Amino acid sequence: MAEMLKDKVAIITGSGRGIGRGVAKLMAAQGAKVVVVDPGVNVDGTGADSSFAQDVVDEIKADGGEGVACLESVATMSGGEKIIQTALDNYGKLDIVVTVAGILRDRMIFNMSEQEWDDVIAVHLKGTFSIVKNASVLFRQQKSGRIITFSSTTGLYGNSGQANYGAAKDGIAGFTRVVARDLGRYGVTANAISPSAATRMIGSIPDDARELRAARGISTGAALTLRGGADDIAPMVTWLASDDAAHVNGHVFHVTEGLVTLLNEPEPTRTIQKDGKWTVEELVRVFPVTIGIELVNPAPSQVPKE
């Protein structure tokens, strides 16, 4: 067994299946003691099945590793506290948290209910906070720790029909950049992964919905490559969790099979400037021939002009 994460204790949320499962198994193979967190819900967050988390733990133990299952939800602060406590109760410490857990409630914004918004934000955005906040108390005290969160091209670039998911995922990217600055001085790193892989969540989006949006000229915005499977994300996550990555902090990486891309932080691309404030009349004249040149509309109007 490899030794990259020897004697480390890791919590991986959403690790009963998909990308999280791959991360949990690889970290265990690299020597970490793993808390497999997954209540076994469906893609939309309904239901529960304790067997998924336990199955991953059984596989880890069969391969000679150490792991324990945890069925708590990340969507509440009490759940986050119990997840952290599970690591402490079983292994006496915590070194790594990876927040993969997520659900989908796809709906065009004009049809989206408040509940569909709240449920997705609760699992993704608050669920990331509930783990990272509670872990950060320990990490600050011990002056070490690794935080790996999960963003998405849906949030970073935009994807039709996923306002709730996109808001949460872009929020996670911003959250991670701030946490990196809050905790970096204490020897803690925080980085985000934007994964692309053929997973259960991706497969749940109906083909007819994709085709309808494409026929209407609606860009997904997610221009980065999608290929490979869930297990392809684990190596980069595992490396970021290691001592070798102590210098990497506050970044977002797009990861898919055979490809790791460092994504840039928002930066100015074109600027117009004058002394004093702009008037509306000046902007009408100047904008179209300066920063407005070749701007792409991701969803061209379908309403015929009269």
Residues identified as active-site: 165
- In one-letter notation, the amino acid at residue 139 is F
For residue 146, the Cα-to-chain-centroid distance in whole angstroms is 15
127 near 135, Cβ under 8 Å? no
Q: What percent helix, strand, coil does the chain show, rounded to 5?
A: 45, 15, 40
217 near 299, Cβ under 8 Å? yes
Helix (H, G, I), strand (E, B) or coil at 191: strand
Sign of CA dihedral 120, 255, 258, 3: negative
In a 13 Å sphere around the CA of 126, the CA atoms on its Cβ side amount to: 16
